[in-house]
Amino acid sequence: MNTLHKLILIGSSTGGPGHIEKIISSLPSDFNATIIIAQHMGDEYLQSFATRLDRESKLQVSLAYDKQIIENSHIYICTKKSEIECNKTMSFIVSDNKQSNYNPNINSLFNSAVHIDRSCQILAIILTGIGDDGVEGIKNISESGSMTIAESPKSAIVYGMPMRAAEIVKDIKILSLDEIISYINRFGA
C-alpha cells in the first residue's frame, strides 16, 4: 500500500543546481513530503551533487537506484531514465537512457507519476533550463488533476523549459524561485 501522501517532482537543466540547492536548504527537518529531482547532468557528477545537497539539507538526500522503495520525507536525485513504479509500494525503475538527449529524462519521471493513486498529492515543477524536456510530462500531470508550477522569467537563468510549459499547460502557476520555495514549504507543512 502506498504510504506517501505528498510528492514533489522537480525538473531542471541549465542553472538548476543552484536553484535546487536553495530549495533544499530551505526545508525544515519536519518537512512532510518526498521530493524527486531530475536535474540534467552527466552521470559522473550526480553522486557529488547528491552528496553536496545532503550536506545542505535537514532531510536525507540520495541518488535513486533501481527497485529502491520511495520513502516519505526523503529527497531523491534521478539518474539515467528514472521512473516511478506503483505496486504495493512506490519504487524506482532506473534504466539506460539511450533514446533521449537528456540525462536524466524529466519527461520519463513526470509521465510515470501520472498513474499514481490520487490519495497521493502531487506537485510538479519545471525550473530553469534550455529546451523542452519535462513539458509533455508536466502537461500530462496537470491534466490528471495535480498542481503544476513553472519558474517565471524573473528568476529563471534560462527561460526555455519553463516558458514552453507556461505556453502549453493551461492551469500552470508561474512563480519566481522565492515564491516556489514558499509554495514548496507550505505544501510540505
Q: Which residues 6+ apart lie within 8 Å of 90 measured at CB?
A: 2, 4, 69, 70, 84, 116, 120
Active site residue 40: yes
Active site residue 117: no
161 burial type by CB count under 10 A (0-12 exposed, 13-18 middle, 19+ buried): buried
Q: Which residues 6+ apart lie within 8 Å of 18 measured at CB?
A: none
Q: Which of 12, 13, 142, 155 is catalytic?
A: 13
Nearest to 13 by CA among 50, 42, 35: 42
Q: Which of 12, 19, 40, 112 is catalytic?
A: 40
Cell of 16: 538548476
Q: Which of 57, 108, 133, 152 is catalytic?
A: 133
For residues 41 and 39, what is the distance between their CA atoms, to the nearest angstrom?
6
Active site residue 74: no
Catalytic residues: 13, 40, 133
